Amino acid sequence: MSKYDKLAAIAEECGFTHSSPLKVSTLEFMQDVRDMCNADQCENFNKSWSCPPACASLEDMQKRVESFEGGILVQTVGELEDSYDWEGIMEAGMRQKEAFAKLWGELKKEYGEILAMGTGVCRICESCTYPDEPCRFPDRMEVSMEACGLFVSKVCTDNGLAYNYGQDKIAFTACFLV
């Protein structure tokens, strides 16, 4: 069984609906993506240790990534009643967060040092200690692919994974480097 096949089997057991091998060479940390964070479109800029400006710089992320040989891109795809199905979006998002935490734990046991980049702002704590106190769980903090400067649809395309699954579907994407 190849390393990716093993990763894919674990990802499926954890609840992800799709996965693809992730080539480190496809990861491009882009200032334009980080600038979207700085524009505070998701309303988390400067409010969390997992978001800019508190999270690692693009240069630091590039350096960290270079020590890994590859990984897995994972997704949770949810079915929506229509494009206004907020409950369906939230349910798929919760499944993504749960599967992400589960897979992170499994991969840590199996591989030790990993780099996880998730979906959206970290939600481990009910309220973030930023900026008044250090992060309570720095080894479990979920930093989003976007906060790291990755253009998620491009990462998907560059690694052979769909990003858009059609009308009335939503996809949440994350990745793990091992």
**Residue-wise pLDDT tens digits, 25-55:** 999 999 999 888 877 777 888 889 998 998 9
- The β-bridge partners of 72 are 21, 176
pLDDT average, residue stretch 50-79: 93
Report the predicted TM-score, pTM, of the whole model to 2 decimal places. 0.92
Q: Which of 65, 74, 70, 68 is nearest to 10 (CA)?
A: 74
pLDDT for position 39: 78
- Pairwise CA distance, residues 133 & 24, whole Å: 33
Convert the pLDDT of each residue in 74-121 to its tens digit. Answer: 999 999 999 889 999 999 999 999 999 999 999 999 998 899 999 988
- Pairwise CA distance, residues 34 & 72, whole Å: 22
- Pairwise CA distance, residues 13 & 10, whole Å: 5
